[in-house]
Structure 1
Amino acid sequence: MSRKTVGAGGMSRIGADALLLATAAVWGVTFVVQKDIGGLPPLAFVAARFAVSALAVAPLAVLEGRRAGLPYAPRAWRLAVAIGVLLFLGASLQQAGLATTSATNGGFLTACYVVLTPFVVWALSRQRPRAIVLGAGVVSVIGAWLLATGCGPAEPPTTGDGLVLLADLAWAIAIALTPIFLVKTQRPLTLAFSQYAICCALAGAASAVFETAKPESFVAAAPAILFAGLVSGALGYTLQIVGQRYTPPAEAALILSLESVFAALAGAIWLGERLTAAGAAGCALILIGAVAAEAAPVFAGAKPASV
């Protein structure tokens, strides 16, 4: 894939990477916001935030569908449903994990999907990931560990740690499937609405079965719901989908891993958390990992690979 203009939308690879960087910034800030949802259970929070996201994107998806004219092919619908289910699993497991693990462990473990994504792509497409992508992923995870622990021992493992790791697998598979869907349909906004609606429906049903959410809890968590629904969901996830039309999934995961850097900056600004020297070094390593995967093919005089 070239860094020149590609695809029907006419967006350059650099422009797409900028959208993914904006997504990482939005998600990083949201990580701080969604840590504190008061007494609202995690599945109820997920259902509420993605209901807001679906409502916000619905008019744009309808407009996109009218312009496209042609209906979805059956396989495209199956892909959209699969991505929606993966979003539900990733968001629900992460939110439940954040309730039972430390922010330190959660921030580090969330970044681990950057290592899983190239292997998921390999399994789906039979395209071996480039060595620079694997190396950059390892560097980014080391950076995330430094950022989360300050070079000290991590917090004792909890059930929440395992839930966040399972969420990572769901994120990795969703990132790998998204460009497959977009190649078949060229309808990113329709995918955004579909995955939000599916995630909302599944989370709502699961919450009704396993949780008891009081109305006053929704009211108390309204600022977090609106921020996560409008900024992280309607804006962030939609930017991710659009950006992935032009950025290979493994490289996209590396850029999105900068979420942990933005989360640290947001914590420092809004929560007064201090960034240690080791944490600053971790931020630098995550940035180096993302930049290396993007810049190495340019310096080698080759086009960026597809994975």
Structure 2
Amino acid sequence: MNRLRADLLLLLVACIWGAAFIAQKQANENMGPVSFVGLRFLLSWMMLAPVAFYEHVKNGRRPLRGADVALAGLIGLCLFAGASLQQMGLVATTATNGGFLTALYVILVPVIVWAVTGARPRGMVLFASLLSIAGSWLITETGHFEQWSRGDALILIADVAWAGAISLAPIFLSRTDRPFFLAFTQYGVTAVLGLMIGLGSEPLSSEGVIAALPSIFFAGLCSGGFAYTLQILAQRYTPPAEAALILSLESVFAALSGAILLSERLTGSAFLGCALILLGVILAEAAATLRAIRFRVRRRTPG
């Protein structure tokens, strides 16, 4: 796989995640948010089990180190924290606030990468991230932030977890060629913690679960088992900051999904916001392409 294909996979992931936002909101009407997270990632875990087992057999002669397993577990904790806090936040905040706050992880990723690896974020990446945040602001229904709530705080904390998962995944993948093990571990950690905490603290009925089954299956199989796995595969080739920018298109696809599936009206400012996010992604990708071209030219130039 090359960089272009990886970026296209991330674009597909953003599209699926944007559509899943509607399923997540509908699930909260029928069951507890953490229980929903546990059930959806249980499906994701079951979906990845055969592929992860095949990968294990294929790489059986190269056992994982304890540090690698611990890092995969830490990334799993980030996924659980991000998914659970976001789902809980959607119960207690408006879609306007939630859509804007979720996009803030874009600016956190280069900061975390800098703190962990020492690699300074490039100026174009930071500029593109700011464009993405401005675009997300304009996509909101009213174009201004409504009254602060507990749900807003939860989604803001979730951004840190999302950024941590995106930033740490390439470190794991650079150490070991086991992307499916990472996905399998993430889903397992999230499913176990989600079910333990959800079943212990939230009311759950068979009627509610049955009503939420379409959301559980879409979020568990499409958004989780398929899209999250594609994200991990693609991050072997796309740097974290650029990956976060492409994934920020999730808010664009969420707005389009709402317009198509829920007959929500997109304002002129929302269309401008979508354009700004897309422009940020294009600028970051163009800068990466120019760097690659200059690098190849320097290698071919004698002396």
Output the TM-score relative to the length of structure 2: 0.94
Which of 147, 153, 170 lines up with 2:139 in the alignment?
A: 147
Q: Residue 137 of structure 2 contacts residue 144 of structure 2 at CA under 8 Å; is this kept in 1?
A: no
Aligned equivalents of 1:33 and 1:298: distance in 2?
36
Aligned-pair CA distance for 1:303: 5.0
**Partner in structure 2 of residue 23 of structure 1:** 13
Instruction: Verify: 1:86 aligned to 2:64, yes or no.
Output: no
Q: Percent identity?
A: 52
Letter in 2 for 1:244: Q
**Partner in structure 2 of residue 236 of structure 1:** 227
**Partner in structure 2 of residue 50 of structure 1:** 41
Q: Residue 47 of structure 1 contacts residue 204 of structure 1 at CA under 8 Å; is this kept in 2?
A: yes
Aligned equivalents of 1:55 and 1:61: distance in 2?
10
Which of 182, 198, 217 lines up with 1:207 in the alignment?
A: 198
Aligned-pair CA distance for 1:104: 1.5
Aligned equivalents of 2:68 and 2:290: distance in 1?
37
**Partner in structure 1 of residue 90 of structure 2:** 98
Aligned equivalents of 1:238 and 1:225: distance in 2?
17
Aligned equivalents of 2:39 and 2:63: distance in 1?
29
Q: SS state of the match for residue 302, structure 1?
A: helix
Aligned equivalents of 1:303 and 1:51: distance in 2?
44
Q: Residue 53 of structure 1 contacts residue 196 of structure 1 at CA under 8 Å; is this kept in 2?
A: yes
Aligned equivalents of 2:95 and 2:33: distance in 1?
15
**Partner in structure 1 of residue 300 of structure 2:** none
Mapping 1:37-76, distance limit 5 Å: 37=27, 38-69=29-60, 70-76=62-68
Instruction: Verify: 1:128 aligned to 2:120, yes or no.
Output: yes
Aligned equivalents of 1:187 and 1:121: distance in 2?
21
Q: Residue 21 of structure 1 contacts residue 258 of structure 1 at CA under 8 Å; is this kept in 2?
A: yes
Q: SS state of the match for residue 35, structure 1?
A: helix
Please list every run of 5 or more consecutive structure 2 residues that lacks an aligned counterpart in the other structure: 297-303
Instruction: Verify: 1:33 aligned to 2:42, yes or no.
Output: no
Aligned equivalents of 1:132 and 1:186: distance in 2?
30
Aligned equivalents of 2:239 and 2:145: distance in 1?
32
Letter in 1 for 2:63: P
Aligned equivalents of 2:15 and 2:25: distance in 1?
16
Aligned equivalents of 2:285 and 2:227: distance in 1?
21
Q: What stretches of structure 1 move > 4 A for 4+ residues in a row?
A: none
Q: Residue 192 of structure 1 contacts residue 238 of structure 1 at CA under 8 Å; is this kept in 2?
A: yes
Aligned equivalents of 2:73 and 2:45: distance in 1?
14
Which of 229, 247, 259 lines up with 2:250 in the alignment?
A: 259
Letter in 1 for 2:32: P
Higher helix share: 2
Q: SS state of the match for residue 36, structure 1?
A: helix
Q: Residue 297 of structure 1 contacts residue 303 of structure 1 at CA under 8 Å; is this kept in 2?
A: no
Letter in 2 for 1:261: V
Letter in 2 for 1:24: A
Which of 268, 277, 281 lines up with 1:290 in the alignment?
A: 281
Aligned equivalents of 2:74 and 2:86: distance in 1?
18
Aligned equivalents of 1:204 and 1:118: distance in 2?
32
Please list every run of 5 or more consecutive structure 1 residues that lacks an aligned counterpart in the other structure: 1-10
Aligned equivalents of 1:65 and 1:20: distance in 2?
25
Output one character per residue of 1:271-303: Cα deviation in whole Å (capped at 9) or x when no partner: 001111100000000011111111024346535
Letter in 1 for 2:78: L
Mapping 1:178-217, distance limit 5 Å: 178-217=169-208
**Partner in structure 1 of residue 301 of structure 2:** none
Output the TM-score relative to the length of structure 1: 0.93
**Partner in structure 1 of residue 150 of structure 2:** 159
**Partner in structure 2 of residue 6 of structure 1:** none
Output one character per residue of 1:37-75: Cα deviation in whole Å (capped at 9) or x when no partner: 123000100000000000011101101111112221111
